[in-house]
Structure 1
Amino acid sequence: MKRVLVTGMGIISAIGENVSANHNSLRNGKTGISQAAHFESRYASQLPFGESAPSNEALKELLDLQLSKGYTRTSLLATKAFDEAVADANLSSKQLSSFDTALISASTVGGMCLTDQLYEDANLKTQGSEYLEAYGCAAHTIQLLEKYNIRGFSDTINTACSSSANAIMLGARLIKSGRAKRAIVGGVDSLAKYTVNGFNSLKILSNSPCKPFDENRDGLNLGEGAAYLVLEAEDVVGDKHVYAEVAGYGNANDAHHPSAMSDEAIGAIRSMHEAVELAGIAYEQIGYINAHGTGTPNNDEVELTGMAALFEKIPPFNSTKSYTGHTLGAAGAVEAIFSILSIVHSEVYASLHVETPMFAHNARPVNSFMPDTKVAYALSNSFGFGGNCTSLVFGSVH
């Protein structure tokens, strides 16, 4: 089976507008969780969020989309990260349009980030806005297909918080099976009343910056962002710069509860086990775990239970949601890039805001920046509502 290599990355999040800026924030322990400046909601002044810095107008100008219609914030964030990824991989217009190139994106809210505008349009309170075709989950994907004339296989995945991790898994499987030579994979989500109100109704939003794996954790912070990776079959990479290999992946669904994972960590254990087994490595070869780590009581307890069941000694782990907030459908791809940065630069980043580490399993997240730490393999977890659990293993190519 063909090896799947990462040749390009692009990201925008609360801690930076590109890969370099995100990397600097991680190294310096700089969180992006604060009061939102662009998100309009009754909760904007009450709760902290991981909001990307540029306004919609700034993004349109940056992307030369001032005259384009129907671009929601979701689409703008996606385009920004996508642009960086394909440029980083030096993909030509011919390669982008090849039927051997796939695009698999992910989102949970899609164009419904315009919650109020959607309400107005749906209830015939307008003559029909420019966003009538932009509300669907796949609208941003369609706009990317049209902008770049992508003609190969395309799909948009919504499996809640594991969405873009599943996009990466699907892209890797297409390449391994010979159905594609390359796949641009990732996801996007923007802050929206729709999701903020929904999560607030579950009573799992924290009033302060989230503290995953803290004994006194009290919930998550919602964030926004987009991230894309260019995956290519080893036999077409040539002399390109390669970041890492997609070495393994696993997906499981414990179907325990609509918004909680089983206490026994059934889905989490299976997804991690499948990813490590497919990578063909031993558990002790995992040098770092980017945990799903939302900061909710259920998630962090269950995830630690799963890690303790599989690892004789849990390797260094953190939750980078303490930097970006929970970016929902984008989280898997955002954290995949962060995991690859740890591999490439031989470093592990601190898990922020932890004051009293959890007592369970005698496991402590990394509490300070760890330079000069060789990471041959990194495991990245993304666990979604309904128990849809996905784990990815990335490996060094050097």
Structure 2
Amino acid sequence: MSRALVTGMGIISAIGEDLAGNHHSLREGHTGIGRASHFQSHYVGTLPFGECRISNEQLKTMLGLENSSGYTRTCLLADKAFSEAIKDAGLFENDISSFDTALISASTVGGMCLTDQLYEDANLKSAGSPYLDAYSCSAHTFKLINRYKIRGFTDTINTACSSSANAIMMGVRLIRSGRAKRVIVGGVDSLAKYTVNGFNALKILSESACKPFDDNRNGLNLGEGAAYLVLEAEEIVKGKKVYAEVAGFGNANDAHHPSAMSDEAVGAIRSMREAVAVSGIDFEEIGYVNAHGTGTRNNDEVELFGLNQLFAKVPPYNSTKSYTGHTLGAAGAVEAIYSILSIVNAELYPSLNVEMPISNFDVKPIDKLLQNQEIRYVLSNSFGFGGNCTSLVFGSVN
């Protein structure tokens, strides 16, 4: 059974247009949450968002897509992160087009970021926009397939906020089972009226920057972004740069409520326990937890409860959503990259906006940049609507 090694990473988020930019913002404690300038919505004036600062036109120029049509913002963000990941991994066209190379992507919004155009087209109020084939959650995947000539197995996963974590899990399973030698995994979501209005209806959007694991937390901020990782079977790496190993994975369903987790953290506990078991390690070997940490009343309390049930002593933890906002289907891959940055650089990044840690538990999130940390394993959690809970364990290769 082959180990799945991470040989390339690419990311765009509210705190950076590439891997280096994201790393710099994490180290400096710079949040990307603020007023949106590209996203058009009634709520732009009242709610903060984790918006990528680059416009669609700038993305098209950067990617050489000025004369291409049918590219939604979701497609553009995906292409930006994907192209960085394959370049970082040193992949050539024949590598990407090999039948041994798979692509597993993820999204929840997909082309529904064009909410108004979708409405006009669906109700026959337009002559037909150039985005008619771009409204599905898999449209960005087809764009990547066609542009980069991908011929191997492909799929698009939509399990809400755990989508790209599940893409990573599926990629690892393809490599371990011998069905693929290389899998490019990740996800993307862009800001959309569809999700903003939906989350607002649930009354869980904060009117200020979110504060995960704070006693006075009052909701989440929606963000956008894309992140991709190149996973390669150990036997084909042949001396290449390796960031980390995807050592373990676990998935379980809370089966409690469409948009809330059970007080007993049933799914969360099981997914974390399975991820650590698959890794073949003990909980005491986990040096850091990148928590799901949305900043809502329910999630943060339940996640801390679950961690306390599994760890004799909860290791350092934080929620990097305080930097990017909740990027929905991209969150699992975004936070996977942040977890790996912690391992590679031996550092832990501060939680933002925490003034009064949750009082029910005697464990506080990281409150400052910690350097020279020996981190062998990281646990990263992604919990989605419908109770879809996924946990990943990343391990050092040094």
Superposition TM-score, scaled by structure 2 size: 1.00
Measured against aligned partners, the alpha-carbon deviations of 1:273-320 in whole angstroms (never above 9, x if no partner) come to 000011000101000000000000000000001000000000000000
Q: What residue in structure 2 maps to residue 75 of structure 1?
A: 75
| Identity rate, percent | 72
Structure 2 Cα separation of the partners of residues 45 and 80 of structure 1: 28
Aligned AA for 2:67? L
Q: What residue in structure 2 maps to residue 215 of structure 1?
A: 215
Once the two structures are TM-superposed, the CA of residue 327 in structure 1 deviates from its matched residue by 0.1
Q: What residue in structure 1 maps to residue 366 of structure 2?
A: 366
Q: What residue in structure 1 maps to residue 226 of structure 2?
A: 226
Measured against aligned partners, the alpha-carbon deviations of 1:65-116 in whole angstroms (never above 9, x if no partner) come to 0110100000000000000000000111001001100000000010000000
Q: What residue in structure 1 maps to residue 61 of structure 2?
A: 61
SS in 2 for 1:236: helix
Q: What residue in structure 1 maps to residue 355 of structure 2?
A: 355
Q: What residue in structure 2 maps to residue 47 of structure 1?
A: 47
Is it true that 1:291 corresponds to 2:291 in the alignment?
Answer: yes
Q: What residue in structure 2 maps to residue 269 of structure 1?
A: 269
Once the two structures are TM-superposed, the CA of residue 359 in structure 1 deviates from its matched residue by 0.9
Superposition TM-score, scaled by structure 1 size: 1.00
Once the two structures are TM-superposed, the CA of residue 228 in structure 1 deviates from its matched residue by 0.1
Is it true that 1:250 corresponds to 2:219 in the alignment?
Answer: no
Structure 2 Cα separation of the partners of residues 361 and 17 of structure 1: 36
Structure 2 Cα separation of the partners of residues 102 and 39 of structure 1: 32
Q: What residue in structure 1 maps to residue 170 of structure 2?
A: 170
Aligned AA for 1:154? T
Q: What residue in structure 2 maps to residue 34 of structure 1?
A: 34
Gaps of 5+ in 1: none
Q: What residue in structure 1 maps to residue 17 of structure 2?
A: 17
Q: What residue in structure 1 maps to residue 324 of structure 2?
A: 324
Q: What residue in structure 2 maps to residue 201 of structure 1?
A: 201
Once the two structures are TM-superposed, the CA of residue 374 in structure 1 deviates from its matched residue by 1.1
Aligned AA for 2:357? P
Q: What residue in structure 2 maps to residue 125 of structure 1?
A: 125
Measured against aligned partners, the alpha-carbon deviations of 1:162-210 in whole angstroms (never above 9, x if no partner) come to 0000000000000000000000000000000000000000000000000
Q: What residue in structure 2 maps to residue 335 of structure 1?
A: 335
Once the two structures are TM-superposed, the CA of residue 361 in structure 1 deviates from its matched residue by 2.1
Gaps of 5+ in 2: none
Aligned AA for 1:210? C
Structure 2 Cα separation of the partners of residues 360 and 73 of structure 1: 41
Aligned AA for 1:41? S
Structure 1 Cα separation of the partners of residues 313 and 360 of structure 2: 14
Structure 1 Cα separation of the partners of residues 52 and 88 of structure 2: 21
SS in 1 for 2:394: strand
Measured against aligned partners, the alpha-carbon deviations of 1:141-166 in whole angstroms (never above 9, x if no partner) come to 00000000001000000000000000
Structure 2 Cα separation of the partners of residues 120 and 361 of structure 1: 50
Q: What residue in structure 2 maps to residue 183 of structure 1?
A: 183
Moved over 2 A (4+): none
